[in-house]
Amino acid sequence: MELREFAEQILFARNLEEKLQSPLVITDERPGPALAAPEAPGRPLELRFKPQHSGKASVPGVHSLDQPVERARLLHFFANHELLATELMALALLRFPDAPPAFRRGVLQTLKDEQEHTRLYLRRMSECGIGFGELPVSGYFWRAISKMESPLDYVTGLSLTFEQANLDFARYFSSGFARVGDQDTSRLLERIYQDEIGHVATGLKWFRKWKDPQHSDWEAFRHQLKFPLSAQRAKGPVFNIEGRMAAGLDKSFITQLRVYAQSKGRTPRVLVFNPFAEGHIAQGNSFTPNKHQQRLQQDLENLPQFLCRQDDVVLVERRPAVSFLSRLIQVGFALPEFVALQAGGIDPSSNLQRRKIGGLCPWAWGPDSVELLGPLFGNLPDAEQTPAGAFNAGLAKLYSKAWSADLLRKILARHALNRSERTSIASEDLFVQGGTAPWLCTESDVGVVVGTVPDALAAIEAIRRRCQHNIVVKETLGVAGHNAIRLLEPEVLETQRRWIANGVARGGKLVVEPWLERELDFSVQLDMRATGLKLVGYTGLCSDSRGQFRGNWTWPNFARRIPANLTTWFPNAPDISNRILKLYSMIIAVLEEEFMKIGYRGPAGIDAFVYRTTAAENRLKPVVEINPRYTMGRLTLELMKRVAPGCIGKLRLVNRTMARKDGFDDFASWARAMSERFPLRLQGEPVPRIREGVICLNDPECARVCLATFEVAEFKAYDTGLRGSEVSHNPGVRGPKCFAPWPEPPGPF
């Protein structure tokens, strides 16, 4: 039989037996003219492709293979892929009759292997009690490859993409079938795996022959793939380095592919790290981050990757190094797709401009993120996000410390009303103790909003008349750490008067409040959705003596438990844990009302602390500041999803001064020393979780001013006798060296 006749039989036959027949002798003396690709191959009715937009078929996972019906479903899924490969190879023979004879002979041999694979799957499916065609079949492979315009397109799309992915799938599921005792299917998949190594090797030989010699294999592969195909399609559930090396792929290609990520079909969210949105809100176009702030943002720009699902996109100025991403994969972190910005904006030629987007999720909404993400708003479904809706005057006020102070007053008033209404039903009152709530802050500890220098001085004097001599004055908006001044002297100094005058001139409003002696800082992490405000969890907050951020820590069951050592500060308040939970339920309800009015959707955090009064009483200030954005606390909770049960985690930021105090001149050497001193210990399969150790969250080889680390240790019951800085610095864990006292912070967030 002539090769052309054989290929036409496979491509157009409507009988499965004809598609899987292979004569002993095939000649290629009359290849004939090139054939245009049909819309679909000929198939029996029951094997025709399901409609393109009818939904993605769910593929059984390895953990469900103990169920016979799920094993049969998976075999059906694989059989369709083998049949599709057979049909696409027949199409390649018909599309490219002038291709080198050696190439055509190689395609023919691979085609015969795919026929045999299909027959083997059909036989095993029959033994499992399912017929081919009893389930819907996908035509994705056909749609992705059939429009190939050259033999190079063929080997890139089929050999180096789908067949390379099967190096992962076949080996992974072979092990899975073996674990449930199905040795027959396990051996079948192992045989197919060995064949696929040869198929990838054959495709790679021709790919290298035809690609641009000036490009590396990886560069040429990426360049040759046409959307919607991407290198992500060349990977399966567990990356198999051994099989790729056996097929002849070089180390650089394998390493690059391993850390590559792009959506396989789900519309991605787009995330970006913009930590200085408040500066842009406060000063508008006149705000420019200083050199240190710019480097800080560049160092930490990849952090949104830990807020991502696997198919999401993170915008960065510079893609993280392959070596750094490889370490994260080894720990079990899924990688998003990184898209590099051009001149501070989205490259107009990027396919991101043409893709559907599931959502826009900057670290914070502000003028800067609206400008950066502006080109992508039109790619959102049903225009559910608009620039005006994403950021407006209503949202801007949520960043204001004056707004947070007013919200706390509202909460205290509602709480007082609740106490008043419940005094007659003491058994149901979780707040009342002798008619008061001695564990909760009073209105006198809430900031006063002023708009002139005389008003500020009057507010300062009023606080000092209450014997609260230490005072803090804050701008209502501005970059944290650069928008506040402490007044510790008995009189307001001239330099402090000038700062107050400049603050009024810049923002128009200031908040004046007593400086409270903090004992324990914590945060409440929330998410505002269309259905309402949802609690994500609680974190401990580590702050320095000035109240500036140092890091976050959290513990098992963080989504349901308040900080485990919070209640120890109120030993005389009965049922204090329930009281605080009840209080925050009310606060969340109040905040939900406010967010609904403004139309805000997205992450939010509440900063809070316990403080000691001049009368040596401990009180809770439940709202210090509202952060309508992602925070390091929220990042900490997302990182905890990769932590083994029963462990505590801590995120901290290390600056160069801290590294030098430890005896290191750069972050890279500091990180290596920490990794040796506190090595990672993982547990669980197939995706491990961190049991203990230290991991860097940005690349220490590239960091210039800041390195983010995440530390994990096994949880231990809190010592209720701890007080003061001991609690902040030693949150009750085994391995105290890993959770040593916090050095100086690298900067504000």
Q: Is the pTM of this model over 0.85?
A: no
C-alpha dihedral sign at 366, 371, 372, 373: positive
Q: What is the pLDDT of residue 139?
A: 94
**Whether 157 contacts 203, CB under 8 Å:** no
In a shared domain, residues 402 and 387: no
Length of the chain as a residue count: 749
Helix and strand totals (H; E) in the chain: 25, 17
Environment class of residue 156 by beta-carbon count within 10 Å: exposed (0-12), middle (13-18) or buried (19+)? buried
**Same domain membership, residue 219 and residue 279:** no
Between residues 544 and 681, the one the model is more confident about: 681
pLDDT tens, residue by residue, 167-179? 999 999 999 999 9
Q: Give yes or no: residues 249 and 128 share one domain.
A: yes
Q: Is the pLDDT of residue 508 over 80?
A: no
Q: pLDDT band at residue 56, thresholds of 50, 70 and 90?
A: low
For residue 449, the cross-strand partners are: 511
Looking at the fold, whether 436 and 540 belong to one and the same domain comes out as yes
Whether the per-residue pLDDT at 45 is higher than 90: the answer is yes
Answer yes or no: do 592 and 667 share one domain: no
The string of pLDDT tens digits covering residues 141-186 is 999 999 999 999 999 999 999 999 999 999 999 999 999 999 999 9
241-250, 389-398, 427-436: least confident range: 427-436
pLDDT at 446 over 50: yes
Tell me the pLDDT of the chain averaged across its residues: 88
Residue range of the domain that includes 557: 398-630
Give residue 213's pLDDT.
95
Please give the residue that has the higher pLDDT: either 645 or 263: 645
Q: pLDDT category, 54, cuts 50, 70, 90?
A: low
Give the mean model confidence (pLDDT) for residues 634-644: 95
What pLDDT is recorded for position 282? 86
Q: Is residue 690 part of a domain?
A: yes
Q: Which residues lie closer than 8 Å to 224 by C-beta, 6 or more apart?
A: 152, 153, 156, 211
- The reported pLDDT for the residue numbered 743 is 34
Q: Please identify, among 225, 259, 293, the residue that sits at the C-terminal boundary of a domain.
A: 259
pLDDT at 421: 55
Contact 457, 448 (CB under 8 A): no
Count the neighbouring beta carbons within 10 Å of the beta carbon of residue 521.
24
Residue 415 falls inside a structural domain = yes
Whether residues 477 and 585 share a domain: the answer is yes
Which two structure tokens, joined as six digits, stand for 735?
Answer: 């391995």
Q: Would residue 528 count as lying in a domain?
A: yes
Task: Confirm whether 458 is domain-assigned.
Answer: yes
pLDDT bin (cut points 50, 70, 90) of residue 384 is low
Q: What CATH number is attached to the domain comprising 494?
A: 3.30.470
Across 247-275, average pLDDT: 92
| Share of residues in the chain with pLDDT > 90 (%) | 70
Q: Are residues 387 and 417 in the same domain?
A: no
Predicted local distance difference test score (pLDDT) of residue 484: 87
Pull the structure tokens for residue 630. Answer: 């992602």
Q: Residue 42 falls within a domain, yes or no?
A: no
Instruction: Give me the CATH number covering residue 160.
Output: 1.20.1260
Tell me which of 577, 598, 630 is where a domain ends.
630
pLDDT in tens, 600-614: 999 999 999 999 998
- Cα–Cα distance, 432 to 558 (Å, whole number): 27
Question: For 517-536, what is each residue's pLDDT tens digit?
Answer: 989 999 999 999 999 999 99
- Do residue 554 and residue 620 come from a single domain? yes
Q: What average pLDDT score do residues 615-623 get?
A: 93
Residue ending a domain, choose from 344, 376, 391: 391
Mean pLDDT confidence for 456-464: 94
Report the sign of the C-alpha dihedral through residues 456, 457, 458, 459, in that order.
positive
Q: Residue 31 domain-assigned?
A: no
**Residue 251, domain member (yes or no):** yes
For tokens 């959705």, the residue is 529
Helix ranges (DSSP H) in 128-162: 140-145, 151-154
Alpha carbon 405 to its chain centroid, in Å, reads 32
Of residues 684 and 591, the one with the higher pLDDT is 591
Site of tokens 């030993």: 571
Count CB-CB contacts under 10 A for residue 387.
16
- 454 and 421 within one domain: yes
Q: What sections of 542-640 are H helices per DSSP?
A: 576-598, 632-639
Neighbour tally for 208: CB within 10 Å: 14
**Structural domain count of the chain:** 4
In a domain, 370, yes or no: yes
Q: What is the mean pLDDT of residues 220-238?
A: 91
The partner residues of 227 in beta bridges, in order of sequence, read none
595 vs 550, which has greater pLDDT?
595
pLDDT top residue among 61 and 259? 259
- Phi, psi (degrees; rounded to nearest 5) at 77: -60, -45
Question: Strand, coil or helix: what is 653?
Answer: strand
- Specify whether 320 is located in the same domain as 178: no
Q: Is the pLDDT of residue 234 over 90?
A: yes
Residue 195's nearest CA partner among 152, 153, 243, 156 is 243
Whether pLDDT at 544 is above 70? no
Q: Give the tens place of pLDDT for each residue, 188-219.
A: 999 999 999 999 999 999 999 999 999 999 99
Q: What is the pLDDT of residues 98-116, one digit of tens each?
A: 999 999 999 999 999 999 9
Residue 324 or 434, more confident:
324
d(C-alpha 43, C-alpha 579), whole Å? 67
User: Does residue 732 share a domain with residue 621?
Assistant: no
Indicate the pLDDT class of residue 724, thresholds 50, 70 and 90: very low
Residue 123 has pLDDT above 90, yes or no: yes
Whether 749 and 480 have beta carbons less than 8 Å apart is answered as yes
284 and 144 in a single domain? The answer is no
Which amino acid is present at 588?
I
